[in-house]
């Protein structure tokens, strides 16, 4: 699905990503963990085509993303739920969801089917449908941001710190939904600073440190690894 090959990214002469390589298959749930400034957000933004690659390559379904514009990449199934959610505060929950389906050329029936599917994942959104996105709680806004991404029927869903600032119960609900979606075939890249949480729900994980992968493997193994804390915290 996604193949990242020896990816290097420089921003203002700083080497932000340095030789990052990994594969992501259909239905795989990959966690990317690492301290502040490790390059996690830059990795997602680069895969989305928002940050230029210095050297190396990223492939989506065997096509180099450098040949695809970011909006085309999103339309073909690579969706990025950014840190901070970016809900449009003045628009209703329903209209925020519709934004996810813009330019897909869906019929009204198809849009309604997509919206109903989001209610199955996040029932609270049905109750909030006509209120302004900006008046939702943080957890509801995060659910809306994910649902808006799912409106595009993605093949790959990338999330940047979805747990930030949310109550533990809501975080668990979101993680369980993500796990279910991956079991249904969605490939997921989850960026998290809360390493334990990400490792508990994902299958595979990579640890980034100063733009390099310092550890990669099964999440369960990493969870029990004595090196993790040293690698992750320092």
Ligand X SMILES: Nc1ncnc2c1ncn2[C@@H]1O[C@H](COP(=O)(O)OP(=O)(O)OP(=O)(O)O)[C@@H](O)[C@H]1O
SS3 89: coil
What's the number of CA atoms in the CB half-sphere (13 Å) around residue 48? 20
Report in angstroms how near the CB of residue 155 gets to ligand X at its nearest. 23
What H or E segment, with its residue span, contains residue 183?
helix 168-183
Sheet holding 204-209, edge to edge: 78-81, 156-160, 187-192, 29-33, 204-209, 212-218
Stretch that binds Mg ion, among 37-45, 54-62, 65-73, 195-203 (CB under 5 A): 37-45
Stretch that binds ligand X, among 7-15, 93-101, 111-119, 136-144 (CB under 6 A): 7-15
Site string for ligand X, 185-204 (x = CB under 6 A): --------x-----------
Single out the residue of 20, 28, 31, 40 in contact with ligand X (rule: CB under 6 A). 40
Report in angstroms how near the CB of residue 54 gets to ligand X at its nearest. 13
Judged by CB under 6 A, does residue 38 bind ligand X? yes
Judged by CB under 6 A, does residue 54 bind ligand X? no
Report in angstroms how near the CB of residue 39 gets to ligand X at its nearest. 4
Q: With CB cut-offs between 5 and 8 Å by kind, which of Mg ion, ligand X, none does residue 11 bind?
A: ligand X
Report in angstroms how near the CB of residue 9 gets to ligand X at its nearest. 9
Could you tell me which residues come within 8 angstroms of residue 33 by beta carbon, excluding any fewer than 6 positions away? 40, 191, 192, 193, 195, 198, 199, 205, 206, 207, 208, 232
What H or E segment, with its residue span, contains residue 8?
strand 2-11
């Amino acid at each position: 699905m996604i193949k990242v090959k020896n990816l290097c990214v420089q921003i203002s002469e700083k080497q932000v990503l340095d030789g990052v390589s990994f594969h992501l298959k259909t239905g795989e749930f990959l966690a990317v963990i690492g301290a502040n400034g490790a390059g996690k957000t830059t990795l997602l933004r680069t895969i989305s085509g928002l940050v230029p690659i210095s050297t190396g390559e990223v492939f989506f379904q065997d096509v180099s993303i450098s040949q695809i514009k970011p909006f085309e990449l999103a339309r073909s199934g690579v969706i990025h739920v950014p840190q901070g959610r970016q809900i449009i505060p003045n628009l209703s929950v329903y209209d925020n969801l519709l934004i996810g389906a813009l330019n897909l050329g869906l019929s009204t029936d198809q849009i309604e089917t997509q919206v109903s599917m989001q209610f199955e994942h996040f029932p609270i959104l049905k109750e909030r449908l006509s209120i302004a996105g900006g008046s939702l709680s943080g957890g509801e806004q995060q659910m809306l941001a994910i649902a808006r991404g799912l409106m595009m029927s993605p093949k790959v869903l990338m999330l940047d710190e979805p747990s930030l600032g949310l109550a533990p119960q809501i975080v668990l609900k979101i993680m369980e939904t993500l796990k279910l979606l991956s079991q249904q075939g969605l490939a997921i890249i989850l960026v998290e600073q809360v390493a334990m949480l990400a490792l508990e729900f994902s299958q595979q994980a990579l640890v980034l440190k100063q733009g390099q992968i310092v550890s990669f493997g099964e999440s369960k193994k990493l969870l029990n690894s004595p090196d993790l804390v040293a690698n992750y915290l320092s």
